[in-house]
Amino acid sequence: MSGDRRVHTSVPDTETAIDRNLPEFPAAKPIDEDNYFRLHKPPPYLSQISRDVADFINYHHLQKRKIVLVTSGGTTVPLENNTVRFIDNFSAGTRGATSAEYFLENGYAVVFLHREFSLLPYSRHYSHTTNCFLDYMTESEDGKVEVNAEFQKEMIVVLRKYRHAQNNNLLLLVPFTTVHQYLFTLKLIAQELSVIGSDALFYLAAAVSDFFLPSSRVPEHKIQSQESGGKLVVDLEPVPKFLSRLVDSWAPISMIVSFKLETDSSILIKKAKGALERYSHQLVIGNLLQSRKYEVVFVTKDSERWVRLSQEQVDAGIDIESLIIPEVIKLHKSSIEEKKKMGL
């Protein structure tokens, strides 16, 4: 028996998902987008989300408010059914949470489809920092918990914005953890948003896994490491290119913005253009892991344009999203006008 371990392909139940020999793989054959949704069960909580999303969209539709779906954070790919191990995509959710704030400030209603426990609009200022929750607090002379004086001035501004969004029902939080939940929820929200047509904007900032483990191959229990020398081999299938479905059939009239995150600057623009050509949507925002907080590149069919913070802006702690969002909104406006001319 070899020390190698591989997670296997659609196998009868009697077989274990763990094969310590090298299995013979069928030729890699990507799962088609539609097949993905046929072959996998939707998350059980989806009907509840469906109601919340429909209510939210109808409410703003009546008020003729534009709605943006912001996706944020990384998706996980469980390697076991009772999940102990999973593959994750790096993302604290900073881009998504910050962008959502600027959309709200610019009059949009926001559906925030985010990785559970990733950063949230407004609260992001106080989580995932070196300060823990209680470091913001102090005990007053009369034995009450108080927010430290040093945080008061900024926090009241943030709190008011957060309460404004809440009180006006402008922000709907929808969580996901796995790539599976993400795909089903995205499809659902897209179909609900089709009601408002060109007034809907998709701003897909989540770090979605390119690979997944089909449910037929996910072992029920924790993968056991061997007593000695056991290696783990995980082989994953490419995630269906759901973006083509989004553009073609779920939300054909809406404007779609996707992100391309790379670490190698020499291939960033090529990859962004590739995505744009493949899916024929409106805009890819390219960014490098190393410099993503200071510069991004807008890649459209006809142009590529860098949006950068100046050194003064960096020093002043300006969010690059405060430059990105107004640019995206301009493009959304043009897109709406264009669609109207076409009678859509």
Figure out which of the listed residues 146, 150, 248, 338 binds a second copy, where binding follows CB under 8 A: 146
| Residue 289 contacts a second copy per CB under 8 A | yes
Contact 255, 201 (CB under 8 A): yes
| Residue 320 to residue 292: CA distance in whole angstroms | 9
In the range 45-104, which residues lie near a second copy by CB under 8 A?
76, 79-80, 82-90, 92
| Residues recorded for the chain | 344
Nearer CB in complex with a second copy: 278/301: 278
| Residue 134 contacts a second copy per CB under 8 A | yes
| Residue 52 to residue 124: CA distance in whole angstroms | 23
| Residue 229 contacts a second copy per CB under 8 A | yes
| Residue 15 contacts a second copy per CB under 8 A | no
Figure out which of the listed residues 27, 62, 316, 342 binds a second copy, where binding follows CB under 8 A: 27
Strands 211-212 and 295-299 come out as: unpaired
| Residue 67 to residue 57: CA distance in whole angstroms | 8
Angle at the Cα of 247 from the Cα atoms of 342 and 180, rounded to 5 degrees: 155
Calculated CA dihedral for residues 248, 252, 257, 260, nearest 10 degrees: 0
Nearer CB in complex with a second copy: 98/335: 98
Tokens of 87: 């593959």
| Residue 18 contacts a second copy per CB under 8 A | no
| Residue 74 to residue 57: CA distance in whole angstroms | 25
Ramachandran area for residue 291 (φ above 0: left; ψ -120 to 50: alpha; else beta): alpha
CB of 168 to a second copy, least distance (A): 15
| Residue 10 contacts a second copy per CB under 8 A | no
3-state secondary structure of 135: helix
| Residue 264 contacts a second copy per CB under 8 A | yes
Render 8-24 in DSSP notation, one character per residue: -SS--TTS-SEESSPP-
Nearer CB in complex with a second copy: 194/244: 244
In the range 232-251, which residues lie near a second copy by CB under 8 A?
232-238
| Residue 123 contacts a second copy per CB under 8 A | yes
In the range 295-324, which residues lie near a second copy by CB under 8 A?
none
| Residue 228 contacts a second copy per CB under 8 A | yes
Figure out which of the listed residues 47, 226, 291, 334 binds a second copy, where binding follows CB under 8 A: 226
AA letter at 139: E
Figure out which of the listed residues 137, 195, 314, 344 binds a second copy, where binding follows CB under 8 A: 137
* Number of residues in contact with a second copy under rule CB under 8 A: 81
In the range 183-202, which residues lie near a second copy by CB under 8 A?
none
CB of 92 to a second copy, least distance (A): 7
Figure out which of the listed residues 3, 107, 252, 326 binds a second copy, where binding follows CB under 8 A: 3
In the range 147-186, which residues lie near a second copy by CB under 8 A?
147, 151-152, 155-156, 158-160, 162-163
| CB-based burial label for 196 (10 Å; 0-12, 13-18, 19+) | buried
> In the 8-state DSSP scheme, what is residue 178?
B
| Residue 218 contacts a second copy per CB under 8 A | no
CB of 341 to a second copy, least distance (A): 35
CB of 191 to a second copy, least distance (A): 26
Of the candidates 161, 163, 185, 165, the one whose C-alpha atom is nearest the C-alpha of residue 174 is 185
